[in-house]
């Protein structure tokens, strides 16, 4: 008898699978606009200098590899909560908010999903249409009812009216997942007035927001990107925020993130955190130490912190410049208007509006890899190759 005979094969991950396909492509002109990692002018995903310096300090000073606690590295958690909520946040002063370290932003989402599943049974979660595909599966795997609210219309533009209308009819008490900035996969972010309107609906329907904050510093700046998160934290008594250090610290493979919980009272925060520690113990026991120690070392040191902020700002500006550059490179082909949204979007990703067939042709004929939905990782571009990419796009658009 075979125990495994009935096990079917599931399709590979649509985003990580692209990395492997790209690696095995022998086309010397290939271009990877798939998975969301930043690349520099040399096409490398650099380790920030601040990270290297912090790692060196850790090598010299680390005295043990014993476990860190269930909520992770306390110094990391305290700095990250301040980075997200603001150093002057009254919630932190009143001990009504705290971070639990998780293996990356994905771990934070999984912890949030299991927390909702265990502690708030029966609540559905509502995701933007479209959203990061892993949002769909994480919450479904945790047993939550998953629904969608419209976000981008058929014209590939943000549709705030449809979003607000849908949120206004959600079951009272349900959970809504929002992207703080640099919406993945579209790159379309809400304006401040839109956020205020969403907040009013959330209050009226008594919804619980989970804000996914994976790209702090990649949109309009470190503080600017936190605007909506801080508005919600100041106006709502309860809130979950998932934060990632993968992109802004370049710590992708170190799996460094946190789930930040805001509550109405300090006592309630302790109750919630006891549940999180219980759930995390069953998921990963204690989180990995290295990435969090690096972040804590950087944020705890004035010089390293400044160096990191400058490096992050340079990455942000480079991506913003590439967006403008691509639209300009498309101009000679009469496509600047059609793709003007690429310059208006924020963060790493652009929902280009290219069809799955056009994406496939870009890959087969020009070695350009992007996600089938038409999502391109602009942070994977390089200014020397904008013209070649524009030409390839023009060719697939004209036939
Ligand atoms: C992406 O969407 O490409 C990134 O968030 C990386 C990932 O884990 O999918």
Dmax (CA) for the chain in angstroms is 65
Instruction: Please report which confidence band the pLDDT of residue 399 belongs to, taking 50, 70 and 90 as the band edges.
Output: confident
Position 318 pLDDT exceeds 80:
yes
Range of the domain at 189: 67-300
Could you tell me if residue 308 is inside a domain? no
Residue 189 resides in a domain:
yes
Distance (Å, rounded) from C-alpha 363 to C-alpha 12? 18
How far, in Å, is the centroid of ligand 1 from the Cα of 38? 11
Average pLDDT over residues 250-261: 98
Pocket-testing residue among 19, 184, 251, ligand 1, by greatest number of atoms within 8 A of Cβ? 184
Of all residues in the chain, the percent with pLDDT exceeding 70 is 100
Predicted local confidence at residue 3, as pLDDT: 97
Strands (E) located in 317-366:
349-351
Question: What would the pLDDT profile of 43-88 be if each residue is shown by its tens digit?
Answer: 899 999 999 999 999 999 999 999 999 999 999 999 999 999 999 9
b or e along 296-315 (b: 16 or more beta carbons within 10 Å of the residue's beta carbon)? bbbbebeebbebbbebbeeb
Domain C-terminal end among 278, 300, 322: 300
- pLDDT, tens digit (0-9, with 9 covering 90-100), for 77-127: 999 999 999 999 999 999 999 999 999 999 999 999 999 999 999 999 999
What is the total count of domains within the chain?
2
Average pLDDT (364-368) is 96
For residue 33, give the CATH number of its domain: 3.90.1150.10
Q: Is 36 in the pocket of ligand 1 (CB under 6 A)?
A: yes
The pLDDT of residue 363 is 96
Q: 210 and 322 share a domain?
A: no
Q: Name the E strands within 249-309.
A: 257-262
How far apart are the CA of 266 and the centre of ligand 1, in A? 34
Residues 157-179 have a mean pLDDT of 98
> Catalytic one among 126, 132, 195, 308?
132
CA of 107 to the centre of ligand 1 (A): 13
CATH no. for residue 145? Answer: 3.40.640.10
Ligand 1 neighbourhood includes 132 CB (under 6 angstroms): yes
Residues 372 and 338 placed together within one structural domain of the fold: yes
Last residue of a domain, one of 242, 271, 300: 300
Q: Which of 32, 73, 189, 247 is catalytic?
A: 247
* 265 pLDDT more than 90: yes
Helix, strand, coil % (nearest 5) of the chain?
50, 15, 40
Closest-lying ligand 1 atom to the alpha carbon of residue 16: 9
pLDDT band at residue 31, thresholds of 50, 70 and 90?
A: very high
Considering the domain architecture, whether residues 100 and 198 belong to the same structural domain is answered as yes
Three-state secondary-structure class, residue 128: strand
247 given a catalytic annotation: yes
Position 357 confidence tier, pLDDT thresholds 50, 70, 90: very high
In the annotation, is 25 catalytic? no
Same domain membership, residue 252 and residue 115: yes
Ligand 1, atom 4, lies closest to the CA of: 36
Annotation marks residue 132 as catalytic: yes
Q: What is the pLDDT of residue 12?
A: 87
Q: Is 50 in the pocket of ligand 1 (CB under 6 A)?
A: no
Cα 220 to middle of ligand 1, angstroms:
20
Q: How far is the CA of 257 from the centre of ligand 1 (A)?
A: 14
On whether both 22 and 164 belong to a single domain, the answer is no
pLDDT at 14: 85
Which residue carries 């401040």 as its tokens? 192
Q: Which pLDDT value is given to residue 243?
A: 98
- Claim to verify: residue 97 and residue 240 sit in the same structural domain: yes
pLDDT of residue 271: 98
């Amino acid at each position: 008898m075979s125990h495994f005979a009935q096990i079917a094969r599931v399709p590979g991950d649509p985003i990580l699978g692209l990395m492997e396909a790209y690696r095995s492509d022998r086309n010397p002109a290939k271009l990877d606009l798939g998975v969301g990692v930043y690349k520099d002018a040399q096409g490398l995903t650099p380790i920030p200098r601040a990270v290297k310096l912090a790692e060196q300090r850790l090598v010299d000073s680390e005295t043990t590899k014993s476990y860190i606690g269930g909520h992770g590295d306390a110094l990391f958690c305290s700095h990250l909560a301040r980075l997200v909520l603001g150093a002057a946040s009254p919630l932190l002063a009143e001990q009504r908010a705290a971070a639990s370290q998780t293996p990356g932003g994905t771990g934070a989402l999984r912890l949030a999903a299991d927390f909702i599943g265990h502690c708030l049974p029966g609540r559905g979660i509502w995701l933007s249409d479209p959203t990061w595909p892993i949002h769909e599966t994480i919450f479904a795997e945790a047993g939550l009812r998953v629904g969608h609210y419209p976000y981008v219309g058929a014209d590939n533009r943000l549709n705030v009216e449809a979003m607000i209308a849908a949120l206004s009819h959600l079951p009272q008490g349900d959970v809504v997942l929002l992207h703080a900035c640099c919406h993945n996969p579209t790159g379309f972010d809400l304006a401040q007035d839109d956020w205020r309107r969403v907040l009013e609906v959330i209050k009226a329907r008594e919804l619980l927001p989970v804000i996914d904050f994976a790209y702090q510093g990649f949109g309009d700046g470190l503080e600017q990107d936190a605007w909506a998160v801080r508005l919600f934290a100041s106006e709502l008594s309860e809130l979950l925020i998932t934060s990632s250090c993968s992109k802004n610290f370049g710590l992708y493979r170190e799996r460094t993130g946190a789930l930040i919980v805001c509550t109405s009272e300090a006592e309630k925060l302790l109750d919630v955190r006891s549940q999180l520690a219980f759930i995390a113990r069953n998921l990963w026991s204690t989180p990995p130490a290295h990435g969090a120690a690096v972040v804590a070392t950087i944020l705890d040191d004035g010089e390293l912190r400044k160096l990191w902020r400058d490096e992050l700002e340079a990455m942000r500006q480079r991506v913003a410049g590439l967006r403008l550059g691509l639209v300009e490179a498309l101009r000679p082909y009469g496509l600047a208007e059609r793709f003007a949204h690429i310059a208006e979007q924020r963060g790493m990703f652009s929902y280009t509006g290219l069809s799955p067939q056009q994406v496939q042709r870009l890959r087969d004929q020009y070695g350009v890899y992007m996600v089938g939905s038409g999502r391109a990782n602009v942070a994977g571009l390089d200014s020397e190759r904008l013209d070649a990419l524009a030409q390839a796009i023009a060719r697939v658009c004209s036939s």
